[in-house]
Amino acid sequence: MELSALQKARYGYKPKLPANVSQGITSIALKQGAPTESIADQADLKALFKYTYGKPLVTFEKGTSESNCRTLQVGVILSGGQAPGGHNVIAGLYDGLKKGNPGSKLYGFLGGPSGLIDNKSVELTDAVIDAYRNTGGFDIIGSGRTKIETPEQFAASLETAKKLGLNAVVIIGGDDSNTNAALLAEYFLAQGSAVQVIGCPKTIDGDLKNEHIEASFGFDTAVKTYSELIGNIERDANSAKKYWHFIKLMGRAASHIALECALQTQPNICLISEEVEAKKLSLAQVVDQICDSVIKRAANKENFGVVLIPEGLVEFIPEMEALIGELNDVMAIHEQDFVKYGDFLGQLNFLSPKLSAPSAQLLMTLPPNIAKELLMDRDPHGNVQVSRIETEKLLIDMVEKRLTELKQERAYKGAFSPLGHFFGYEGRCAFPSNFDADYCYSLGFSAFVLIAAGLTGYISSVKNLPSPPDAWIAGGVPLTMMMNMEQRHGSKKPVIKKALVELEGAPFKAFAAMRDTWAVKTSFYYPGAIQYYGPPEVCDQTTKTLQLEHGK
């Protein structure tokens, strides 16, 4: 396969490391802090994680450590959706192992966690690693969404580790995948096994973060990719001056992507799911907010604009959340009767009497194409697949309907020509930005140091991210420290808490301070494409979110 010029050039990029792990391999020593507690439900989690709860935070410092030169055999897993930089996590881990001892080996489990369960792996060599450095995607070994949760799966995972003679397993994933890492670390110790488990924080959604995990990798690249596209559309809108663009962005549980893209591009409207939920806004109120901007801009003879919409918005609108919950319950109870109705009207007439009056009325008033999506295929747990709901089209339909009513009332005289877009997969496998290339490589190298130090049940951590990489601080955070108990599928489960947009946080406040101006005045900003070469302020800049969270 012929390589692109950019791919060839990226192979030559040398990722930078934090100063506290860039000295000689035997000069990296471990510094332990005080014992830790989980963020909530301490008694329950301490009982569940008898072997791994309460471990200390760790950082690295200059010292002496011969353990870094041990011969190690490590397995690595890419878990969940793709995120730019995953290949560099593996490269950083690999380089750390080989610098420690050339006889160390790294195995990649194929297709995600199922590769560990089914013992499907490949040894990663210099040739393989070098072909993927600084590139996007997870195609080096593939990914998957299998959860290791049954006794048989845990036992099979341990058996695989024994057969390969592994010292450790590294799980690269989001909050669910790293929850799995914590459970696996606990299981291995409970079985008397010395196999260590280390996690790495991945998700473009940006919802795996806290005071010790300042960012999940891939977020930086994804939002810059989306912001380039949004900026292009804004410039086109300002050129044609006749279209309203409704752009749905990835981020089901949290609106970090939408918020960061808004800070980078200054659209007319950006909906933040967490605010909609906090204010208990109805679907009609959300529509009215958009209509208000359309009407005011039309008065200025600007019949164009851009609206950003988080993927998971509908689940945060209280009335829609109630409807989806009722549909999930009713369709689970009456599944056999429901499937008898092949036509949409028959399904509506069957379901409506079984819903509460407000939910039945809402379902009947939704645009038919959206109502059909709510009744379509369910996920493996029997729930509505919210990511398939075309929220941008729902809002377009409802805004058009409301503006038609206002025209009839002579309260609106403008023109409204809407277009819908969904930006999701475009950002998951992009060439990683310099930030993500450096950050991911550092996370992988830090994971090696944690393994060499004999730790388990930790997630690799790199802090002080708004600063240049040599000022970053690598270390490790106990996975149980980030956990609480949540209701999942009918029972309480230990999970890493998702980080939602904080309405009192600096990024949201910066956005809220300007959005009323953006809603009326064309204030578009065009960030352009990711830059890999040039002045640091151009090619190494971090996200607005990171800068604002650190007071910069």
- Please list, residue by residue across 91-111, b when 16 or more beta carbons sit within 10 angstroms of its beta carbon and e when fewer do: bbbbbbbbbbeeebbbbbbbb
265: helix, coil or strand? helix
* Pair type for strands 28-35 and 168-173: unpaired
Active site residue 329: no
Query: How far from chain centre, in Å, is Cα 219?
Result: 7
Find all residues with CB under 8 Å of 493, minimum gap 6, and list them: 485, 486, 487
- Residue 146 tokens, joined: 């299998």
Calculate ∠ Cα 477-134-465, nearest 5°.
Answer: 40
Which tokens sit at 219?
């977020």
The Cα–Cα gap between 408 and 412 comes to 8
| 428 contacts 84 by C-beta, under 8 angstroms | yes
Query: 335 Cβ partners below 8 Å, 6+ apart?
Result: 382
Residue type, 237: A
Helices (H), 134-174: 151-164
Helical (H) or strand (E) element with 337: helix 335-338
**Which of 95, 176, 205, 397 is labelled catalytic?**
205
How far apart, in whole angstroms, are the C-alpha atoms of residue 85 and residue 207? 17
Closest CA to 542 of 92, 173, 217, 213: 217
Contact 508, 272 (CB under 8 A): yes
Residue among 93, 15, 8, 131 at smallest CA distance from 437: 15
Counting Cα atoms < 13 Å in the Cβ hemisphere of 485 gives 13
* Residues with Cβ within 8 Å of residue 535, at least 6 apart in sequence: none
Active site members: 205
